[in-house]
Amino acid sequence: GQQVMQIPQYQHVQEGEDFTTYCNSSTTLSNIQWYKQRPGGHPVFLIQLVKSGEVKKQKRLTFQFGEAKKNSSLHITATQTTDVGTYFCAGSPTGANNLFFGTGTRLTVIP
């Protein structure tokens, strides 16, 4: 069945350090979405990537969709305590209309 894995599962960084999470799908995706879930909260949409090799930036966040449309990454530059939370990628397999979430990366930022 469809699997979307993320690494690492957990990441602790000092405030100001960079952070990257990687997302890998077992199948080709028509698009990839990224969500953030704060502790005790619900997932909130961050961005969507559609094209092969696409790169998008949101302030300190950089999102990339792989050439084969099977992997993606989220990079945060100079983390802040407000970045704390779990980051999920979510993909829709090509030809399907469902949305499968990755296993998530939980980010802790140490002040």
Nearer to another protein, 24 or 77 (CB): 24
**Minimal distance, residue 13 CB to another protein, in Å:** 19
Please report whether residue 99 would count as binding another protein according to CB under 8 A: yes
Per CB under 8 A, which of residues 18..57 are in contact with another protein? 30-31, 33, 35, 41-45, 48, 50
**Minimal distance, residue 61 CB to another protein, in Å:** 16
3-state secondary structure the chain: CCCEEEECCEEEEECCCCEEEEEEECCCEEEEEEEEECCCCCCEEEEEECCCCCEEEECCEEEEECCCCCEEEEEECCCCHHHCEEEEEEEEECCCCCCEECCCEEEEEEC
Residues at the interface with another protein (CB under 8 A): 1, 30-31, 33, 35, 41-45, 48, 50, 88, 90, 92, 94-104, 106
